[in-house]
Structure 1
Amino acid sequence: MGLTFMKSIIALVCLAGSLLATLTLSAVAYAEEALCTCRYCEAAAARASFGVELGNDGPHYAPVRMVDVQHIKLDITPDFKKRTVGGTTTIRFVPLRKPLEALTLDAVQLNITGVEGSTPVTEFENSGEELTIAFKEPIPVGQESWVTIEHNCEPTGGFYFRTAEMGYPEEDTHCWTQGESHYARRWFPCFDYPNEKSTTEVICHVPSDMTVISNGRKLGESVDLEKQLKTVHWLQDKPHVNYLICVVAGYFDKLEDTAGNIPLGFYSQPSLSKHAANSFQDTASIMKFYQKEIGVAYPWNKYDQVTIWDFIAGGMENTTITTLTNNTIFSKETENIKSSRGLDAHELAHQWFGDYVTCEDWSHLWLNEGFATYYTHLYEGEKFGRDATLYGLYRDATNRVLPGGNNDKRPIVWKRYTNAGDQFDYRAYPKGSWVLHMLRSQLGEEMYRQAIQNYLKEHALTTVTTPELQAAFEETSGRTFDRFFDQWVYHARHPDVKIRYRYDPKLSLAHFTVEQTQKVDNDVMLFAFPATFALKCGDEMVYHTEEITDKKHEFYVPVPSKPEMVQFDPEYTLLANIDFDKPEELWLNQLENAERCVGRILAIEALAKKKTNKGIDAIQNALASDPFFGVRVEAAKALGKMNRDEALAALVKTPEQDDARVRLAVADAVVGFYRPESLDTILESAQQEKNPAIVEQWIDGLAKYSDDSVTSYLRASLQRESFRNQVAEAAVVAMEKSGSSQYVPDLAEQVTNHSDKYTSRGLGKVLIALAKLSDGKEEKLQSLKLIAPHLNNGRTDVQKAAITALGQLQLEEARPILQAYADATNDEELSKAASNALAELTKDKSPQPRELIELRKQMQELEKSNKSLKEKLDDLEKKLETTEKKD
């Protein structure tokens, strides 16, 4: 009877949210007791009554434009104490195709206080998601019109504050906006999709000692001495998409430079500004290179970069003003390990690819992100040589594209995403970059450049889709690219290529078999690609390219003598999984003779798998003397993965490296081994190393060892001064990995007295480590008291970490705190984190039966869903009452 009764309660609650209030703690306890003896099928039956929310998996298309937006004018005032923003938005537009009776704008959780227009407005409706404005008379097609909307909000996204009340340095107080992909609608009403471009204008009112930066050129600023408010006026007079509108205001220190006649501004937080020059040292040379490489002058009037505390991404390419994570600022002690060059180059490339020419909808995002990724690699090549470009492509392929794409049936151009954020993955960034690299490799650099130049000039200041890019390549080259774009862009994956080679001494022929082994279906094609081989025969190099179009292809190459080196794709121009099984001697010769770094790296990988002493010696020699740092880095990684004493010995005997990136790789490889006799070496290395990034790596290796010397060193490292407290944070991570509760007092002391020294993520690591290491009920309760207050920390990263830490404590006393937080917060991320933490508490309660665990999860979800249902029922009841009164 208990189970039946509980099912009835659940059903009634699902139908009427108000009943949830009557479900007391004793009723929940009764339900748990009732399910203790039921079968798993009964739990499944209870689960079924909750239903499953399915995301919209598309297809997604750009919305039909009812008007042409010509200009957007924002007049706003941010309130740094209340963390609100209000003002007016004026949108100038022209109806398209048919007279406009009502204008619909995106507007999420905005308080709309007034609307007026050039055509009288009869009424407006604010649904919480959209603002609909009805006009007294339909506005004729082509008639320029405007609406002005008064609004305010406490933004839930799109507009962000960083203030002392939130835990940030007071001298760094600032606010900023983030539009991509659909966040502008959360602070002003707009057409929030990238298939609409307009000019924009920003008027911002802030305290008189603050700075305001926005898109375009500054028209002026003035100060109201009575109100102590500064008004700053910016205008972007070339059209750009809505998500690129940006406002940043607050306290900043500024550096200046120029790139030709383009002024460059670098704004950073006062607490970090003494290090800012490190991060922006390449901007002018990147700008110069891009204008030469792209063949189109920088299309805007200035370029600013602004760092942001706890930015939600690495950077955002707003037109003429890029916002960047302040983590991009680094100290010189890290030598060349830390660099902003890649981020700087990526975001600057967007000023052409993404801002000047913009993808029309998110399925074509690679036209923004693929270009920015590839041109970052091209700049590396400009600065450090061809190998630097290829090494970047190699890392993208091996770390992201090939692993990510092996079992992924989504193509680059994909319309069935759940939300726009799904498109921001390896397909748009590194795979998109690789598509461009393959096009450049097949066409040659000059013809590729001409095609890109034609593409940008033809589509300047407009939105585009992939066919426009394909057309530019075809019109420039005079050849079709249907198959290329079909297999690489509109279908999924990449080829798996199996290559077999043998030499015929009688006929002096090299015999090759090239086979594609990937599964071919409706999602993955049989690929067509050029396969190039380089054969070293004495002093002569023989190159041969074969067009592969079939599943299996055999061919012969005449050679003057037996090849000493047989290398596939010597210029690294094909994105593919390559299985080339050949004798060790050929790999040794490739390591010694391959011209490009990737050929030598691939040889290192193959030799490491064979694990012979001869191979280890060759890899160690490459680590010691190869001219390109990336080969030395990969040599260190390969030795580290072998887990042989000979490999460890090869690492240890390697001469001291001048390049810090290689020293870091060596440290990472050495600490990957567990050898008790290595402890003294690791400790000594950590104590002698001055570069904090490398010290961090040595410290990470100490987590494996239980020794008084390690304990003392880690505790001392908590007190060691370093930029952003990097060394102390490394010690915290090592303490957590050790699993030892002896560090709980040390971590508690960090939370109590030194929280302000850590970054948001660093403090989060301290909280989680404290929770994980706390042992015993009393110690856990003490830790709970230290962790729980950080639920109210103004920094999202700290809040999420505190939530996670409470779940990790495995204390039932944490449940009501987490439940109350989950119920109270309007932040989706924090609510999800609280739900996960509650599930963590539930999951590890081993004495409880599975059925009880499932019911508890269901009750948590039920409470949330019925809170929403009750609100909807209340709203319906009010509407019915209003209707009855009218009748």
Structure 2
Amino acid sequence: MNSLRTLLVAAATFLAVAAHQSIVLAEEAQCTCRYCESGAARAAFGVDLGNDGPHYAPVRKVDVQHIKLDITPNFKERTVGGKTTIRFVPLREAIDVLKLDAVDLSITSIEASTPVSEFDTTSKDLTIAFAEPIPVGQESWVTIEHHCQPQGGFYFRTPEMGYPKEDTHCWTQGESHYARQWFPCFDYPNEKSTTEVICHVPSDMTVISNGRNLGESIDPATNLKSVHWLQDKPHVNYLICVVAGYFDKLEDAAGNIPLGYYSQPTLSKHAAASFQDTASIMDFYQKEIGVAYPWHKYDQVTIRDFMAGGMENTTITTLTHNTIFTPATENIRSSRGLDAHELAHQWFGDYVTCEDWSHLWLNEGFATYYTHLYEGEKFGRDAMLYGLYRDATNRVLPGGANDKRPIVWKKYRNAGEQFDYRAYPKGSWVLHMLRSQLGEEMFRETIQSYLKEHGLTTVTTPELQAAFEETSGRTFDRFFDQWVYHARHPDLKIRYRFDPKLSLAQITLEQTQKVDDDVMLFHFPATFAFLCDGEMVLHTEEITDAKHDFYVALPSKPEMVQFDPEYTLLTKVDFDKPEDLWISELENAERAPGRILAISALAKKKSNKAIDAIQKALETDPFFGVRVEAAEALGKIHSDESRAAIRKTAMPSDARVRLALVKATVGDYQPEKVAELLEAAQAEKNPAIAAAWIEGLAKYSDAPVTQYLIASLDKQSFRNEIAEAAVEAMRKSGSSQYVPDLTEQVALHADSYTTRGLASLLRTLASLSDEKPEKLQSLEHIAPHLNDARNDVQKGAIEALGKLGLEDARPILQAYADASHNEELSKAAEGALAAITKQSTPQPTELIELRKQMQDLEKSNDSLQKKLDELEKKLEASEDVEKKD
């Protein structure tokens, strides 16, 4: 009996092992390394591993009243040291321990108003124990001497990093939680205090910070200049900013508010155009918002290879250097939107700040919407609505289609997850819908009241809702519930019929989105416009059900039937109308979004009549955005008729429309037109449009095109735009014939490329390298850039090694994959290793043999399973016999 049990256990064990071997073989058929798994794990969990919320603002044990920073950046070593003094008051109970955020800071000494008994540091924080408790309400202070070589929060741009010596500078970036990487602090936005900065730099450098400049002095012993700044109104910790280095300055004013524009010396001759709108934006915002600019001054400073577009530090916005452009691009390039967005933050985000990151839209949604309002102020209502249209169609509707996260969402793993379409364009749209429902004047009154009540404090969404309700006298519970606290947007299916006998328009409006705990059935006003014999009839229905039928009496059969004519509702619409009604909307809709939606619908029909209507709009519509969308639509139809319509359209004077038309022209493969296309490309003077011609020519392998692309590598242009477009065209071509020329660019002209352009150049060289000798040669040119101090170049070099697919690169990449100091590079190395593994997978014959082994093993498993079943039956029978005995 025991032998039978032993045999059964042994059989089961063997079966389990065999099954495991089947799984292992199946995994090895896809990948034979461990890097994919580790990379996926890191990507899934992010930096706050295991902490997936909900997140709330931490309880404040003390009230921080003032922060004083006395710092000295070392540009050669890229370190920063100094002293931080924090003045605070215990709140609800006496404290004997003070805990501060401090990431990888070396603490040299601590002094305090109450004797310190001990202090302790970890890689994340600093804990200070006092010899006796500090009573509630007693003003106290601590001064901490510290030093670090920051991995974030404080950044350098120096010659050793590949930047021009005359552009040397450093700067700080606090949002969301990066200040803790260079000074100890309470690093969360529910704490506000006044701040002070004293920065010591070489005497020929400039220092810019928050608030007012209290003065400068030179230390004769060190020849360092000390610059003293004071921000005497409270603001949150992440808005503290220090910028120091070599800058050229332009000055302006908006009323009595001084405006300063700082840029790198190598870029400054082009800077004026980038800041030309600041004063008028400031004037408009003060009028529109109804609250005067709340700070002493407003500075803007460009930063080389800034990690974002801009950062709205209180009174000092840091901007990407890419915001600077030259007149050669005509009206294609502009800093106006970035300028307006960051300036709006001085009210929304700086003066009134979200209490925690789940309410980030109170910062970013307002800044996004007021950018659109300024565009409308400067260029008319269509310009404002066009911005909202592009936000909706390019970001909100696609992003929110399958996203169950609402705008206010606390289950993020790290704060960076909140900085997406929900906070920016969807938050903007929420404000637009409120303004549309209340009217412009009542909306202004509400915002003015909200800012005056909560200025210099932190807020959550209920404070904003209360402001709307108090001003309007109506409840907004349902509105905020469906748009802010629940996910998504309504999907509408609209059907229209006309009863000629009764002269009635029948409308059926159905919400087709899936309604569940995360997505509500929306309630909203739906407005329709009917054009009857030249007269516009408007009708608004309050939609409360999943399906809503209604009738509208009309004087005659309408020539146009339009939904949401003022463009006031964030929704995806399926409106099935006859072609003639869409053409009428394109010709008669007052607002640009209506005409653009008509173009989109007509492009799907692809009829000759539809193409003619779109081409007419391209030539004659008064708003540039409609003409741009018309050009893009024709480019996507891909028919002989649409190509003919593009060719017969004269090149417009507006460079934005010209660019769209060029992209449409080169979008299709037209080998019979290649000489004509090449001639037009060579004649183009605008570098932004020339770049579009170059990239469009990538699909042709004709010798003249090849020569043109190679020649473009050496063509001078601002920020190397032409050469970098040629590199992109070569990448798209997939041709190895360009490898020698790309190799020469890497070897001799790498310094002329932008940071992103050089990274792209390295990846392109790798992807086009063909045979192994060529790959090995490319490896020699790419590998040195792994030591570039610029993160993006390093990442590009790592990704390039993955594209080469050489086992020779594996040890190099493994070193980066194992490095823990830079998660982004580590993840890039893991991806590159996976790419090499994928390229070295078994050949088809080996795969066939592997599959055969798996099939044989499965058959063996099946046979063994049958035997196991028989043994189990015998065992059961034997046990029955024993029981009977």
Provide the residue aligned with 2:632 in structure 1.
637
CA contact (8 A) 2:33 2:837 kept: no
Shift of 1:36: 11
Q: Give 1:316's aligned amino acid.
A: M
* Alignment equivalent of 1:78, drawn from 73, 82, 88: 73
2:187 counterpart SS class: coil
User: Structure 2 vs 1, CA of residues 359 and 717 (structure 1 numbering), >3 Å: closer, same or farther?
Assistant: same
Structure 2 CA distance for aligned equivalents of residues 806 and 45 of structure 1: 19
User: Structure 2 vs 1, CA of residues 719 and 332 (structure 1 numbering), >3 Å: closer, same or farther?
Assistant: same
2:539 counterpart SS class: strand
1:256 aligned onto 2:242:
no
Shift of 1:759: 0.5
2:484 counterpart SS class: helix
Shift of 1:258: 0.2
* Alignment equivalent of 2:189, drawn from 194, 218, 224: 194
* Alignment equivalent of 1:458, drawn from 453, 456, 477: 453
* Alignment equivalent of 1:185, drawn from 147, 172, 180: 180
CA contact (8 A) 1:72 1:199 kept: yes
Q: Give 2:665's aligned amino acid.
A: V
Please list every run of 5 or more consecutive structure 1 residues that lacks an aligned counterpart in the other structure: 1-33, 854-887
Aligned-residue RMSD, C-alpha: 1.9
1:728 counterpart SS class: helix
1:813 counterpart SS class: helix
String of CA shifts for 1:525-561, please: whole Å, max 9, x gaps.
0000000011010021101111001111111111111
Shift of 1:839: 1.4
CA contact (8 A) 1:497 1:578 kept: yes
Provide the residue aligned with 2:375 in structure 1.
380
Structure 2 CA distance for aligned equivalents of residues 846 and 426 of structure 1: 39
1:128 counterpart SS class: coil
Shift of 1:49: 11
* Alignment equivalent of 2:224, drawn from 226, 229, 245: 229
Shift of 1:39: 3.0
Shift of 1:728: 0.5
User: Structure 2 vs 1, CA of residues 178 and 41 (structure 1 numbering), >3 Å: closer, same or farther?
Assistant: closer
Q: How does 1:550-569 map to 2 (within 5 A)?
A: 550-569=545-564
Q: Give 1:40's aligned amino acid.
A: A
Provide the residue aligned with 2:610 in structure 1.
615
Provide the residue aligned with 2:812 in structure 1.
817
1:787 aligned onto 2:773:
no
1:845 aligned onto 2:840:
yes
2:628 counterpart SS class: helix
Provide the residue aligned with 2:267 in structure 1.
272
1:150 aligned onto 2:136:
no
Shift of 1:693: 0.4
CA contact (8 A) 1:215 1:321 kept: yes
Provide the residue aligned with 1:796 in structure 2.
791
Provide the residue aligned with 1:534 in structure 2.
529
Please list every run of 5 or more consecutive structure 2 residues that lacks an aligned counterpart in the other structure: 1-19, 851-885
Q: Give 1:597's aligned amino acid.
A: A
Provide the residue aligned with 2:666 in structure 1.
671
1:647 aligned onto 2:642:
yes
* Alignment equivalent of 2:26, drawn from 33, 40, 43: 40
Structure 2 CA distance for aligned equivalents of residues 75 and 46 of structure 1: 49
Q: Give 2:302's aligned amino acid.
A: T
Provide the residue aligned with 2:758 in structure 1.
763
Q: Give 1:503's aligned amino acid.
A: F
* Alignment equivalent of 1:448, drawn from 437, 440, 443: 443
Provide the residue aligned with 1:329 in structure 2.
324
Structure 1 CA distance for aligned equivalents of residues 475 and 631 of structure 2: 44
CA contact (8 A) 1:36 1:852 kept: no
Provide the residue aligned with 2:717 in structure 1.
722
Structure 2 CA distance for aligned equivalents of residues 703 and 675 of structure 1: 12
* Alignment equivalent of 1:582, drawn from 577, 580, 585: 577
Structure 2 CA distance for aligned equivalents of residues 248 and 794 of structure 1: 20
CA contact (8 A) 2:32 2:837 kept: no
1:831 counterpart SS class: helix
Provide the residue aligned with 2:287 in structure 1.
292
1:689 aligned onto 2:684:
yes
Shift of 1:852: 15
Shift of 1:821: 2.9
CA contact (8 A) 1:702 1:734 kept: yes
1:694 counterpart SS class: helix
Q: Give 2:430's aligned amino acid.
A: V
Shift of 1:678: 2.4
Shift of 1:846: 2.0
Shift of 1:850: 9.3
2:132 counterpart SS class: strand
String of CA shifts for 1:733-757, please: whole Å, max 9, x gaps.
1011111111111001111111111
Q: Which has the larger radius of gyration?
A: 2
Q: Give 2:163's aligned amino acid.
A: Y
Structure 1 CA distance for aligned equivalents of residues 359 and 676 of structure 2: 52
Q: Give 2:626's aligned amino acid.
A: V
Q: Give 1:600's aligned amino acid.
A: R
1:405 aligned onto 2:400:
yes
Provide the residue aligned with 2:872 in structure 1.
none
Structure 2 CA distance for aligned equivalents of residues 379 and 694 of structure 1: 27
User: Structure 2 vs 1, CA of residues 481 and 729 (structure 1 numbering), >3 Å: closer, same or farther?
Assistant: same
Shift of 1:42: 9.2
CA contact (8 A) 1:641 1:669 kept: yes
Structure 2 CA distance for aligned equivalents of residues 551 and 523 of structure 1: 16
CA contact (8 A) 1:182 1:193 kept: yes
* Alignment equivalent of 2:315, drawn from 316, 320, 330: 320
2:807 counterpart SS class: coil
2:789 counterpart SS class: coil
Structure 2 CA distance for aligned equivalents of residues 610 and 276 of structure 1: 46
String of CA shifts for 1:770-812, please: whole Å, max 9, x gaps.
1111111111111111111111111111111011111111111
CA contact (8 A) 1:160 1:175 kept: yes
Shift of 1:838: 1.2
Provide the residue aligned with 2:829 in structure 1.
834
Shift of 1:367: 0.2
Q: Give 1:832's aligned amino acid.
A: K
2:676 counterpart SS class: helix
Q: Which runs of 4+ in 1 moved over 6 A?
A: 34-37, 41-51, 848-853
Shift of 1:40: 2.8
* Alignment equivalent of 2:109, drawn from 108, 114, 118: 114
Provide the residue aligned with 1:14 in structure 2.
none
Provide the residue aligned with 1:470 in structure 2.
465
Provide the residue aligned with 2:538 in structure 1.
543
Shift of 1:37: 11
CA contact (8 A) 1:500 1:512 kept: yes
1:711 counterpart SS class: helix
Alignment length (residue pairs): 820
Q: Give 2:555's aligned amino acid.
A: P
TM-score by length of 1: 0.91
User: Structure 2 vs 1, CA of residues 303 and 148 (structure 1 numbering), >3 Å: closer, same or farther?
Assistant: same
Task: Out of 482-491 and 682-691, give the one that drifted further.
Answer: 682-691
Structure 1 CA distance for aligned equivalents of residues 33 and 161 of structure 2: 42
Structure 1 CA distance for aligned equivalents of residues 810 and 25 of structure 2: 27
CA contact (8 A) 1:192 1:243 kept: yes
TM-score by length of 2: 0.91
2:51 counterpart SS class: coil
User: Structure 2 vs 1, CA of residues 382 and 427 (structure 1 numbering), >3 Å: closer, same or farther?
Assistant: same
String of CA shifts for 1:551-598, please: whole Å, max 9, x gaps.
111111111111001111000000001011011111111111111111
String of CA shifts for 1:380-424, please: whole Å, max 9, x gaps.
000000000000000000000000000000000000011100000
2:222 counterpart SS class: coil
Q: Give 1:413's aligned amino acid.
A: V
User: Structure 2 vs 1, CA of residues 688 and 247 (structure 1 numbering), >3 Å: closer, same or farther?
Assistant: same
Q: Give 2:200's aligned amino acid.
A: H
Shift of 1:323: 0.1
Structure 1 CA distance for aligned equivalents of residues 311 and 407 of structure 2: 21
Shift of 1:823: 3.3
Structure 2 CA distance for aligned equivalents of residues 41 and 287 of structure 1: 60
Structure 1 CA distance for aligned equivalents of residues 141 and 164 of structure 2: 42
Shift of 1:845: 1.2
Task: Out of 85-94 and 770-779, give the one that drifted further.
Answer: 770-779
Structure 2 CA distance for aligned equivalents of residues 658 and 49 of structure 1: 54
